[in-house]
Amino acid sequence: MAIGFFVTGTDTGIGKTVVSCALLHAFAAQGHTVIGMKPVAAGRENGVWQDVENLKAASNISMPQSLINPYAFVEPVAPHIAAQQTGITIDPEVIRQACEQLQAAAEVTIVEGVGGFRVPLSLAGIPDCRYDTGDLASVLGLPVILAVGMRLGCLNHALLTARAIESTGLKLAGWVANVIDPAMLQLEINLQTLAEWLDCPLLGVLPFQEQLDVRQLAGLIDLSRLG
């Protein structure tokens, strides 16, 4: 039976892709076929969307780019702004259908969100048609894994994001601590605080790496805690 998870984060640039790739490698190490998905990507560098390429590299089956990444924008700006500038509407139904095709092909599908959990996805200036990343997660109906970028301010960001996830009725399946500030003061106490306050299991603590090695980080993910 195919399973899937939606990876969201406490902010942009906190390591959702790192966490998603580590999860893909962790499931693959257990013998599963895995595929990563980035429904919306913004910011092309050297002709590619690096997050998408990283997810593809961490997957062990190949699927069409149009399914892995239905919407890709050149400028590294909020997706609803990029969509408005290019005259494109981000359609959750298109993403849902693409996700279903990926789930039909792989035992595990990891869907990486864009930005934080409440980043707008609909065109600006249309109040009656507003939807955001949280609404997309609800359309997909997948359990959510929260990537927490460990830095000053992460406690508030993590707890607010967890509350936003729970308000949608989605299951918060677990959280992963990603140490993005190697000089963060009182790291262990912050980790303990989040473990006590977040009503879901800690799946792993990913240390800061100068040279990123997601296969190594995958070994620090405890999938058994997902139940």
Burial of 99 (0-12, 13-18, 19+ CB in 10 A): buried
Contact (CB, 8 A) for 133 and 113: yes
Q: Cβ distance 33 to 171 under 8 Å?
A: no
- For residue 15, the tally of other CB atoms under 10 A from its CB is 26
Is residue 16 part of the annotated active site? The answer reads no
The DSSP code for 17 is H
Residue 176: C-alpha distances to residues 119, 211, 222 (Å): 20, 19, 10
Q: How far apart are CA 8 and CA 20, in angstroms?
A: 9
How far apart are the C-alpha atoms of 37 and 27, rounded to whole Å?
A: 15
Q: What residues are labeled active site?
A: 38
